[in-house]
Structure 1
Amino acid sequence: MALRVLVLYGSVRTARQGIRVARFITAKLAERGYDATLVDPVDYALPMLDRMYKEYPKGEAPPPMEELAEMIRGADAFVIVSGEYNHSIPPALSNLLDHFLEEWFFRPSGIVCYSAGMFGGVRAAMQLRAMLSELGMPSIPSLQPVPRVGQAFAEDGTPTDEAWHGRVKKFIDELEWYAEALQAQRAKGLPY
């Protein structure tokens, strides 16, 4: 059975560049035979966090939140595609992640970070590691930084440098290893 991977994108800005990276990584996961789905916060328009999904009576959460909860529960792994806003995590990404909790548990995450500059968003990635761990989806050791994002990919996610195909291989290999290991452990039962 193919691994189910959600690619969680973190920007709602009008002129966002990172959506190109999200499209690229989603396509690379699909090439591996994974059931890869891009989750774009623009498509779900979650409100600023007031009540978490778990705080609604069963079946009474807003439809976009119910849909996301179902997708998250069905996933084997997550890839977080995050820009760097003021050396930190984009607010739309934090908002998306914070609406859920138990739904994330016992699945690995991989961080693809980007920025307009040469550091590729790694400062946001370091903060994301702590947040993702607290949410129960610890990140794999490898990062996939993308410097100068506006020059790295076309609008449809096609890389401007073919070397990107090779660069993501180790990252995806590692995510697969962790996803399969945690999938096998979940099948045995949860630790509580």
Structure 2
Amino acid sequence: MKLLIFLGSVRQSTPPKPARLGERVALACQRVLQANFPDMNVEIIDPLDIELDPVFKPHFAYSSQSAPEQLSQLADKIETADAYVMVSPEYNHSMSPALANLLNHFGASLFSYKPSAIVTYSAGQWGGARASVSMRAFLSELGCLPVSAMLHFPKAQEVFDESGDYLESVNDADRWDSYFNRTFLQLRWWCEATLKQRGEQDPHQLISDFKQSPSQRNAPD
């Protein structure tokens, strides 16, 4: 099984620590997933590693031969992945614009019929929880339905070090592990279920993908 963790921040650093806070959370998610599910290939997608054009143009708007190589490579990873973890801070009570911008470059058919998990964080006390409200609708529209359990990390800089490990000051690591696994065990269950079902029946053969014009979504006249 393949899982992608999308890091939803392009900040080079995050107050009050110089290191990127979102990167710590993403690395922590990767660490827990790999420890509990060694048969799962887990990769972090960092938007800082991807050069996007200043003028927005999604991958599916290019001809097959002219699409930027980085976008095509990521599109292939998204299509072959079996589940996703979306890691986002909160911006104006909503999800990260960096995450939304990156995901908007790809058609929903690449994400469809697979599960996702919502992970939010903050340097303050709310843990980015309000961002998860918009993320549920956004991910549902992509077709990678989020599992019910979510992860919220308030004051994440007091929980994780720069490698995604627990800080020495964290005395209840077992409780944190249990908190992680409440979400990731749900994600694993749905990942196995959808992977099996996709193997038995191609879902894209049931409902035609939207590829030609907006009228394909219209109700009958």
Which TM class, normalised by the smaller chain length?
over 0.9
1:49–1:98 CA contact under 8 A, matched in 2: no
Percent identity, aligned pairs only, is 37
The corresponding residue for 1:126 is: 133
* TM-score for both structures, normalised by structure 2: 0.82
Q: CA deviation at 1:89?
A: 1.2
Alignment of 1:34-113 (within 5 A): 34-48=40-54, 50-101=56-107, 102-113=109-120
Q: CA deviation at 1:155?
A: 0.4
Could you list the per-position Cα deviations for residues 121-167 of structure 1 after superposition, in whole angstroms to 9, with x for gaps in the alignment? 11001100000001111111010111111211000101223132222
Structure 2, gaps ≥5 residues long? 14-19, 208-221
Q: CA deviation at 1:182?
A: 1.1
Return the letter of the residue paired with 2:176: W
> Quick one: distance in 1 between partners of 2:187 and 2:4?
12
Deviates more, 1:156-165 or 1:94-103: 156-165
Return the letter of the residue paired with 1:147: P
Structure 1 residue 189 corresponds to structure 2 residue 202: yes
Q: CA deviation at 1:48?
A: 4.7
Q: 1:7 aligns with which of 5, 8, 19?
A: 5
* TM-score for both structures, normalised by structure 1: 0.94
Q: CA deviation at 1:50?
A: 2.0
Q: CA deviation at 1:49?
A: 5.8
Q: CA RMSD in A?
A: 1.2
1:48–1:95 CA contact under 8 A, matched in 2: no
4+ long deviations beyond 3 Å: none
Larger Rg over CA atoms: 2
Q: CA deviation at 1:56?
A: 0.9
Could you list the per-position Cα deviations for residues 82-136 of structure 1 after superposition, in whole angstroms to 9, with x for gaps in the alignment? 1111211111101111001221111111001111222211100110000000111
| Equivalent pairs, count | 190
Could you list the per-position Cα deviations for residues 22-51 of structure 1 after superposition, in whole angstroms to 9, with x for gaps in the alignment? 001011112211100000000112235622
